Amino acid sequence: MVQTDFLKAVSLFSELSDEELRNVSKQAEVVNFVRDAFICKEGQQADSMFIIKSGIVQIFCDDGKGGRKVLTHLKLGEYFGEMALLTEEPRTASAVALAETEVIRINKDSFHTLLKTSPGVSLSIIRTLCNRLSKTNIGSAQTKMHNVYAILGPDTSSGKSLFARNLAMAMQKELGCDVLLYDPNLRDDRVARSLGVEKRSRIIDELIDREKITDLKKFVVKTDCGLLTLLPQENGLTDVRLKEFHTFSLMQTVMEHYEYVVVDSSSMFTKVTKEIVQNCDKIIYLISSKNVSITGLMDHFDETRRGWKVAPEKIVFGVNHMTDDPTQESLITEKDHERISFEIPFCKELKGKRDPETQLLVQTAPDHPLSKVCRKQTMKVLFDQTIGLFMPTFDDEPARAELARRWVESGVTEFSQTLKNVEVQGPVTRHGGLYHILTGHTSKWSLNDQVVKIVDFSNRFKKEFNVGSLILSLNNQESII
């Protein structure tokens, strides 16, 4: 029998009564899998679903070339395998234990009984399926190839365009690959002018004639600073033919062709802005310090993004100090500082230059205050996934403690090859023992690879010290592996 207190903590069963939990417990069984063991395989007929009690599970499918396309990793309290039970089709993905893993298995008949008798379970299943489908997660072999970052502001005086250009340049330098910077308002040629591009195009004409750009590359140019940008429409300021659906079509085409995109977006909350925000990985909302109420502007944007169903973790607030006179600036409270991720210090040479020319692409001057801010924000928005491993200190065993300390040092060296900002924290207390936490940051698109590497390191550690389990942390959520 499975303990009901564990089941109660699983989102799938959180709305069940004590009696319903006891019934589930009677029908479920605990199954253990050794490292690298298959829990279920793609193409098999499904007879069970699974809930992870400890360990970590990799979900993957065949990539069509004899290899694996990793879809996700699941940990404590997460579940999988229910989709095939609902569709009665063969499984669309395989699940393998990356470490010693304990799962709760619920067979097909018990699962169907649960759906019929427990509305809370049915709703939870529906939410999970919708979430997975919307993220193209389990059940689909598609991989999101684009990473989009939008820079917005409440008005045109926030300095967002200058920040967008320098953020894009910092990204390009960090990633070592092309970054496309564009303004979805193709009538406006300010982005092109600020990048030193004089050529114009008939891009709106093609959008209107065909409702889709068939060859996007002919409208993209590489600028002197290395950034890519879209050529705006010639005489664009007077062209009123462009409609919202044209802009939506263009954005989808951009995301199909370019992996890294920075959008210098409108300061107006239009349907176009909503579409951009909903398709972005991060939205940086830059506010001028001279605005009347920074608190009010952040509250208003939070209210807007809630209406647009955009998760709060996607939003980054920044303040651009436009003066060195504190009496001319809005009050920033302690609560404001808790919400604000960064502040751009006042730069005298930028004062009054609302439409800066190419020489103000300050990433070429690494010591410039704006350069430093952009580099720091680049690291935060690109590498926003936190991964950590809790390693016991063995303080009561001097010989093992010294060996554990050397393992931590080697872990720092090993993780630093692929993770950013690797550091050692602690010691902290967990399960009655002391642990050091080895942490680092990575990007969403490489998180799966990093999980595999850290689990491999933890397995070596467990074998060396003959310990049964360690603690893995993903974005501050801890799981036993």
Helices (H), 279-397: 294-307, 334-339, 369-382
**pLDDT for the residue 262:** 93
Residue 335 token pair: 């609560």
Q: Where are the domains of the chain?
A: 4-134, 147-382, 385-480
Beta-carbon contacts of 163 under 8 Å, excluding residues fewer than 6 positions away, are 151, 284, 286, 318, 320, 344, 370, 374
Q: Which long-range contacts (CB under 8 A, 24 or more apart) does 299-302 make?
A: 300/154, 301/152, 301/154
Residue at token pair 């504190």: 326
The alpha carbons of the chain give a radius of gyration, in whole angstroms, of 26
To the nearest 10°, report the CA torsion of 426, 429, 434, 439: -40
130 pLDDT exceeds 60? no
Q: Report residue 335's pLDDT band, with 50, 70 and 90 as the boundaries.
A: very high
The overall pTM is greater than 0.85: no
Alpha carbon distance 165, 319 (integer Å): 17
In the β-sheet with 471-474, what is the strand arrangement from edge to edge? 420-430, 433-442, 385-392, 471-474, 477-480
**pLDDT for the residue 156:** 74
Using alpha carbons, list the distances in angstroms from residue 72 to 68, 79, 83, 98, 306. Answer: 12, 12, 15, 12, 27
Residue at token pair 């759906």: 115
478 pLDDT exceeds 90? no
Q: What angle do CA 234, 163, 192 make, to 5 degrees?
A: 15
**For residue range 98-113, what is the model confidence (pLDDT) as tens digits?**
888 899 998 888 888 8
**pLDDT for the residue 18:** 81
473 pLDDT exceeds 70? yes
132 pLDDT exceeds 60? no
403 pLDDT exceeds 70? yes
**For residue range 240-293, what is the model confidence (pLDDT) as tens digits?**
667 777 777 888 888 888 989 999 987 666 777 787 788 888 999 999 988 888
Domain 4-134 has what CATH class? mainly beta
**For residue range 144-188, what is the model confidence (pLDDT) as tens digits?**
457 889 999 888 778 888 889 889 989 998 899 999 999 888 888
Distance of CA 300 to the CA centre of its chain: 23
Fold annotation for 147-382? Rossmann fold (3.40.50)
Residue 189 token pair: 């040629």
Q: How many residues are given for the chain? A: 481
**Residue from 310, 300, 299 nearest 276 by CA:** 310
Q: Report residue 455's pLDDT band, with 50, 70 and 90 as the boundaries.
A: confident
- Beta strand residue intervals within 141-196, DSSP E: 147-152, 180-182
Report percent pLDDT > 90 for the chain.
25
Beta-carbon contacts of 370 under 8 Å, excluding residues fewer than 6 positions away, are 162, 163, 166, 344, 347, 350, 362
**Residue from 5, 113, 118 nearest 53 by CA:** 5
Which run of H or of E encompasses 242?
Answer: none
**pLDDT for the residue 128:** 64
Please classify residue 145 by burial: count the beta carbons closer than 10 Å to its beta carbon, then call 0-12 exposed, 13-18 middle and 19+ buried: exposed
**For residue range 4-35, what is the model confidence (pLDDT) as tens digits?**
778 888 877 777 778 878 877 887 889 999 88
Q: Which residue has the higher pLDDT, 149 or 369?
A: 149
Whether the CB-CB separation of 385 and 443 falls below 8 Å is answered with: yes
Using alpha carbons, list the distances in angstroms from residue 134 to 79, 252, 274, 447, 475. Answer: 17, 16, 17, 19, 21
Beta-carbon contacts of 211 under 8 Å, excluding residues fewer than 6 positions away, are 245, 246, 249
In the β-sheet with 180-182, what is the strand arrangement from edge to edge? 220-222, 228-230, 180-182, 260-264, 147-152, 282-288, 315-320, 340-344
Q: Which long-range contacts (CB under 8 A, 24 or more apart) does 243-250 make?
A: 244/270, 244/271, 244/272, 245/211, 246/204, 246/207, 246/208, 246/211, 247/184, 247/186, 247/272, 247/275, 248/272, 248/275, 249/207, 249/211, 249/212, 249/213, 250/184, 250/186, 250/207, 250/213
**Residue from 40, 9, 55, 56 nearest 105 by CA:** 40
Q: Which residue has the higher pLDDT, 175 or 118?
A: 175
Residue 64 token pair: 């069509």
Q: Output the CATH code of domain 385-480.
A: 3.30.70
- Judged by DSSP in three states, 133 sits in helix
122 pLDDT exceeds 80? no
Q: Report residue 196's pLDDT band, with 50, 70 and 90 as the boundaries.
A: confident
**Residue from 392, 384, 386 nearest 439 by CA:** 386
Whether the CB-CB separation of 280 and 318 falls below 8 Å is answered with: no
